[in-house]
Structure 1
Amino acid sequence: MTTYESYVTQYGQVKKIDAFAYLSYLHDHPQEPRKHGKVVLVTADTPLKASRGEGKTTTTIALIDALRARGVDAAAVLRQPSMGITAAGSKGGASGGGKASLTHPELIDWGLCGEMAAIAAAQNLLVAFAEKAVDDGRLDTIAVPRVSETPSRSLRQIAVDRGKGDVPERTVLTPTCELMQIVVLSRSMEEIAQRVSEMVAGSFEGKPVVFGDFIDLWRITNILGDAVKPALTETKQGSPVYVHCGPFANVSIGIPSLVSVELACALHDVVVVEAGYGTDAGAQKWLDIAAREFGAQWPAAAVVVTRATTWRDDPKLSWRYPFHINRLERLGLAAFPLVNLWEGEDDQVGQLRQQAADLGFRTPIIGNLFRDGGDALAEQLDAFIEALEQHDDASVRGDESLDSHRGMDTVDDIKWIIRSAYGVPAGRVLLREGFEQSLGNARELCASLGKDLDDMVVVAVKSPATMTDDDSAAEQDRSVTLKKVEVHAGAGLVQVNLTSSLTTPMPKIV
């Protein structure tokens, strides 16, 4: 008899789950018992600094502990952190903190079970194949970047001497690479193989060449064998937590793998999904990429995390948190503000509640989650649990259609995102010199591959700490500048760079 345990393997201090196989089994055996959990999205205010998070992971862990204390079968799905940034000290850990943390945070912060390393090895092997193809006269340029978990800005642009002239190459962080995006979005090994085959290796005599033209794809899928399996760990309070795929919702998609969330929904009643950076980044990408374009579940509710200081202490940026809350409410999401207190801020709770009431928010959830964990939240969740119980997937989802944007003009699509997620109308979207040429090159590349750029899913690449060119400007003066376009044909994505962003950010010295 096949059971869920048949798909689980103990892997050191955590478990690995063959989600592809288990979900396929459930699909083929609809009579088998399973759950249909509701998704809750944990997102945040846009942080004042990219290097200081608002506490999404701490909140996610405290929230599932509190829900389970209230008798709700809840689990969390977290993104695996980037070791080169998180564990090196730029953001602290990515496994919660204090009472709201995981049993083995060091595993999460320092590479878990090697998923990130396996994806890096597979993408770097693709680059090695591309380099060999140059030697063999099958390529004369290389398009796919090398990846590294250790940031090095000296590697952003490099040139390799082939004896017949230098061949430009570059290096990006592993979570930002196309192969990571493919693993996040795919629901089977066959889909991964097909997407890898459509990745652009480079060009020959001006024509793009894809990896499917000259490599055996099993070499790549074999490396990814365990990397595609979500890891299962738990909080200090014993609540289940699934961890899979990479961060960086500003320069990539920054969400857990779709299959890890589907797995959790098959096993639990409420699944709390963490999305990267602020609502303008990870939440925008869960809603507009995962749900709108790739069939992921639309959330039943959202929790929008902020620090008391972020919310209140910079008047020029104080518009951002209410903007995020109100945007999610307009989308039909019950958006609950959550203030994650620092030590010494308990006496501000009354003032924070009054400010939330003045802004028309739902009653905020407030607590020092590092110190108190889920105990700080359990008695504040009545309205939240009621919203989950009342949620109906068939209900009208606010003032936006969930129809796919594939086929929409790419520039119109990014302008739609900018208006919806950043509050800047199309008339104040600017084009930097060279953008139109970059757009034209992208259209030509897609046409050479037999694809249409407008059928690609748009990924906004931006600064994590800003929504516009200058968030401190008056509303009528805020603009967004489009800078360049990059096609990820295998992933089915087109990245549009705007504001400022780095694909190799550096850790701070601690």
Structure 2
Amino acid sequence: MKTDIEIAHEAKMKPITEIGEKLGINPDDLILYGKYKAKIPLKYINKEKYLQNKLILVSAISPTPAGEGKTTVSIGLSQGLNRIGKQTTVVLREPSLGPVFGIKGGATGGGYSQVLPMEDINLHFTGDFNAIEKAHNLLAALIDNNIQSKKRSLGIDPRTVKWKRVMDMNDRSLRHIIVGLGGTTHGIPRETGFDITAASEVMAILCLAENMEDLKRRLGNIFIGYTFDKKPVYARDLHAEGAMAALLRDAIMPNLVQTIEGTPAIIHGGPFANIAQGTNSVIATKMGLSLSDFVVTEAGFGFDLGAEKFIDIKCQYAGLKPSAVVLVATIRALKYHGGKPLKEVSQPDVEALKNGIGNLQKHVENMKQFGICPVVAINRFTSDTDEEVEVIKNACKEMDVQVAEVDVWGKGGEGAIELAKIVNKIAMNCPYQHKTLYDWNWTPEAKIETLAKRIYGAEAVDYTAQAKNDLKKVYELGLDKLPICVAKTQKSLSDNPALLGRPKDFVVTVREIEIAAGAGFIVPITGQIMRMPGLPEEPAAERIDVDNNGVISGLF
């Protein structure tokens, strides 16, 4: 069987100007990054068009080490919709180097449902992550410079500064560090650390900003800490937003590439869903909807994380709503949720599948809470038996949910024709009664409890002393009306990664609450979630290589 990278190398890409022409973009307007990548100017966003065209959201069950293939299905569905005559663009997030070198080894789909050029997209791409990293760290440098200053000091209390530095790499040794060592000329010693770039508030801001003016406003609203006399300090107090925005001048424009079948693909931004909003930028989504009749986009991890935040945060800020939502499920993953050991998930086991089906059922129930007409996509593998497929189909029938089998890895868009037809029918006919899960005017405690009980299935929410103190600050700063962006493990519906399937009677523990005033949400941090991941025992980086001709291997 061919690997993803072998299939990608065999594909014949079209010049990116041709892909742009499919969308009605003047080739002279594209900002080229070589022959196959380009940035699209923001002038192509058209409000009249993006409000009338169809947005298709792809989510998934709770992810497992067995893999669900959500990105691959998103790409395959966009290709399938084009095959049935619907002008479609797929809009995705940019991969972070952390997961690329850590676990997955690449995040551009797979088989005959990939976005190309896959090596470029996975490694640096057009430099957006680098720009975000530099803008974030510029603010960190300005903060420490002001603390050190004698003439222009704002009187920032170093003990209250929560703004860390970021780097796009998994490196657990940088989670907690001390800066300013070496004497008085080197700064004021204080404890801080590094987060991964995808967890940066600047990343979240870029992905929620409407334009450059909005970007600067949000950057200026970043909360830094307090002065010694207890006054709040924001990035605008350091006059940081202008320079930060200058570093993001090109990064704010979405990137145009293509799928293996020549379907236009817009890729922009990359916040993680377990610690941020987990979806591509508002600008990229609106751009896709301005240029094509259908847009297929994904939200990170399971519906409880990325999709909930997509609807409750991104859609509310952007004034968007999906016309249909696809939930990707695999038989292997559901058997894992049913207690089957990872090494044995490819073996037939109807009982394990039935034991794990509760995870699928809970996610479907969650989808219906938003007034969505859901579709379940069974991402079928060669090891799946017909009997196992029927178990899922029967479960979907009992839930009154349409279901389709897909094989987009092996067949590309052809393997998603059935799903594309169902999605098209729903998008055209489903009377979407747009609901949010909570009212932003509720108290933070009420919003968090609603998420915990209705989406995760928790019995109650518990707050540590630190979290209670953080809540007081939220109220004092007048930020209690902001939406909630829970940082939670993606491996379970609960905040405990060991609780698989559909856990019940558990308590969600909020450890602390971070303020993301620039992004426009507050972040309850639950369980043991980390904002700077570490590398696994056998990192994907160990199998990545490049030959004398510059051909990269090991990305898949």
* TM-score (structure 1 length as normaliser): 0.89
User: Residue 46 of structure 1: SS of its match in structure 2?
Assistant: coil
User: Residue 339 of structure 1: SS of its match in structure 2?
Assistant: strand
Aligned counterparts, 1:172-211, within 5 A: 172-205=195-228, 206-211=230-235
Q: Does residue 76 of the first structure (1) align with residue 99 of the second (2)?
A: no
Alignment CA distance shift 1:363-1:260 (3 Å): same
Q: 2:422 aligns with which of 373, 383, 387?
A: 383
Q: 1:106 aligns with which of 119, 124, 133?
A: 119
Partner Cα distance (1:319, 1:403) in 2: 21
Partner of 1:129: 142
Alignment CA distance shift 1:344-1:9 (3 Å): same
Q: 1:429 aligns with which of 458, 461, 467?
A: 461
* Superposed CA offset, 1:361-411 (max 9, x none): 53422133221222112145433221111135xx533xxx44972321001
Partner Cα distance (1:256, 1:334) in 2: 22
Partner of 2:178: 159
User: Residue 43 of structure 1: SS of its match in structure 2?
Assistant: strand
Instruction: Give the superposition deviation at 1:496.
Output: 0.5
* Superposed CA offset, 1:107-134 (max 9, x none): 2211210001100011111111111111
Count residues in correspondence: 484
User: Residue 233 of structure 2: SS of its match in structure 1?
Assistant: strand
User: Residue 299 of structure 1: SS of its match in structure 2?
Assistant: coil
Q: Does residue 222 of the first structure (1) align with residue 246 of the second (2)?
A: yes
Alignment CA distance shift 1:118-1:454 (3 Å): same
Alignment CA distance shift 1:460-1:35 (3 Å): closer
Letter paired with 1:157: H
Q: 2:314 aligns with which of 249, 268, 290?
A: 290
Moved more, 156-165 or 269-278: 156-165
Q: CA RMSD in A?
A: 2.3
Partner Cα distance (1:478, 1:10) in 2: 51
Alignment CA distance shift 1:406-1:132 (3 Å): same
Partner Cα distance (1:221, 1:128) in 2: 15
Partner of 1:331: 370
Q: 1:63 aligns with which of 67, 72, 77?
A: 77
Letter paired with 1:351: E
Letter paired with 1:174: T
User: Residue 383 of structure 2: SS of its match in structure 1?
Assistant: coil
Moved more, 402-411 or 279-288: 402-411
Alignment CA distance shift 1:349-1:100 (3 Å): farther
Give % identity: 26
Letter paired with 2:93: R
Q: 1:96 aligns with which of 109, 115, 123?
A: 109
Partner Cα distance (1:363, 1:418) in 2: 27
Partner of 1:449: none
Q: Do the aligned residues in 2 keep the contact of 1:356 with 1:363 (CA within 8 Å)?
A: no
Q: Do the aligned residues in 2 keep the contact of 1:35 with 1:267 (CA within 8 Å)?
A: no
Partner of 1:41: 57
Instruction: Give the superposition deviation at 1:250.
Output: 0.6
Partner of 2:12: none
Q: Does residue 505 of the first structure (1) align with residue 543 of the second (2)?
A: no
Moved more, 275-284 or 472-481: 472-481
Partner of 2:514: 486
Partner Cα distance (1:66, 1:195) in 2: 38
Partner Cα distance (1:411, 1:404) in 2: 11
Letter paired with 1:486: E
Partner of 2:472: 440
Instruction: Give the superposition deviation at 1:433.
Output: 4.1
Partner Cα distance (1:384, 1:161) in 2: 56
Letter paired with 2:417: A
Q: 1:309 aligns with which of 318, 332, 335?
A: 332
Q: Does residue 464 of the first structure (1) align with residue 496 of the second (2)?
A: no
Letter paired with 1:487: I
Partner Cα distance (1:218, 1:472) in 2: 46
Instruction: Give the superposition deviation at 1:149.
Output: 0.5
Alignment CA distance shift 1:237-1:440 (3 Å): same
Moved more, 371-380 or 257-266: 371-380
Partner Cα distance (1:61, 1:175) in 2: 22
Partner of 2:44: 22
Letter paired with 1:362: V
Partner Cα distance (1:299, 1:431) in 2: 34
Instruction: Give the superposition deviation at 1:215.
Output: 2.6
Q: Do the aligned residues in 1 keep the contact of 2:358 with 2:502 (CA within 8 Å)?
A: no
Instruction: Give the superposition deviation at 1:36.
Output: 2.9
Q: 2:257 aligns with which of 233, 236, 249?
A: 233
User: Residue 89 of structure 2: SS of its match in structure 1?
Assistant: strand
| Structure 1: gaps spanning 5 or more residues | 447-451
Q: 2:442 aligns with which of 408, 420, 428?
A: 408
Instruction: Give the superposition deviation at 1:318.
Output: 3.4
Runs of 4+ in 1 over 6 A off after TM superposition: none
Alignment CA distance shift 1:129-1:306 (3 Å): same
| Structure 2: gaps spanning 5 or more residues | 1-23, 339-354, 541-556
User: Residue 206 of structure 2: SS of its match in structure 1?
Assistant: helix
User: Residue 209 of structure 1: SS of its match in structure 2?
Assistant: strand
Partner Cα distance (1:478, 1:277) in 2: 21
Q: Do the aligned residues in 2 keep the contact of 1:156 with 1:170 (CA within 8 Å)?
A: yes
Q: Do the aligned residues in 2 keep the contact of 1:57 with 1:95 (CA within 8 Å)?
A: yes
Alignment CA distance shift 1:7-1:348 (3 Å): farther
Aligned counterparts, 1:115-126, within 5 A: 115-126=128-139
Q: Do the aligned residues in 2 keep the contact of 1:77 with 1:243 (CA within 8 Å)?
A: yes
Alignment CA distance shift 1:133-1:70 (3 Å): same
